Amino acid sequence: MLEIAMANSLLGLTNANQVSIYKFEEREGIPRVWISSQITSKGAQLHDDGISAPEDFFPITDFPAFCISRNSGLPHAEADLLVLPIILHSSRLYGFVEVAGAAPDSASSPSVASVLAIFTNVLALLDYSEIDTLTGLLNRKTFDEYLSRILSSLFKGDETKKPAMNKPRRRRAPPADQGHWLGVVDIDHFKTVNDTFGHSIGDEVLLLIANMMRQSFRGYDKLFRFGGEEFVVLLKPTSEKEALGAFERFRLSVESRDFPLVGRVTVSTGFARIRQGDQPSLIFDRADQALYWVKANGRNQASNFEDLIASGALKIKESKPEIEFF
């Protein structure tokens, strides 16, 4: 909604034909972008709804104007195209605003700069309330909202449309073998790290783990720190094989790293599919059961709740958890 409001303001200020917002991420050294929202005089389209996986990614090299703006950190204008980099207060590049058919003097307009400044300031306020101060990941209280949005989207179906903010027709329900997943990640023997090396070294391990999570998972997946050594991952639609692959990729990257002073660190993960009609606490409990099975059977593994049930390693326990998470 914030992106749409900014795009709408810029459309009027610049007398443009179209304003598009692209988000940015760099994974494995490859910088790329995907379209998030777009607005014209006919209305707005929301391409990245925060729940579905973006359909198309593009190398940033496909957009020469983006490359110039990224390198300079400044607006870039060419012909009737204006590109504005969105740089957060943490100096992280959030993405780009592409203004097509803009007035020639738009790049130097104080009003345009003010709209962009307001956008980044509001994002900073949202970050302050939603971000874990140590790791920079999303915090626990934000998790409730994201999971509720996923469950709501599954209940309503992907055909639901909002006035003046329609999803493009190509963005429909994912294939039947794909779904959202919730994973609970726990650092093995973390208490020993704190007791042996002190809490400052423990905090450094948490920071490194958080950075490795950002590198291992997709830019549009949601990563949370739940406190202590526990993290939660919400994967946007993908298959069970790809979900396991993502958690294994992260596990192996941690296992192969040499942590300063500490040396070898490992993580255990339990994950479960998010299904329509599930209660939030039940989904979390399934992933937690898988995690406890992993920790009781050697640690340093990633296991799917449904696979453990199918193999007989776990018995179905769908009773209400003793602790309410929501």
Q: Which of 272, 273, 267 lies closest to 301, judged by CA?
A: 267
Q: Burial letters for 51-63: b for 16+ Cβ neighbours within 10 Å, e otherwise?
A: bbbbeebeebeeb
Reply yes or no on whether 248 is catalytic. no
Strands 230-239, 178-187: pairing is antiparallel
- Beta-bridged to residue 178, according to DSSP, are 239
Please report, as a single letter, which amino acid is at residue 227: G
Task: Classify 39 as helix, strand or coil.
Answer: strand
> Which listed residue (229, 255, 322, 324) is catalytic?
229
Determine whether 269 is exposed, middle or buried from the number of CB atoms within 10 Å of its CB (0-12, 13-18, 19+): buried
Whole-Å CA distances, 266 to 20, 106, 297: 42, 52, 14
- CA 107, CA 262: separation in Å to the nearest integer? 50
User: Two tokens at 41?
Assistant: 């005089």
- Catalytic residues, by residue number, are 229
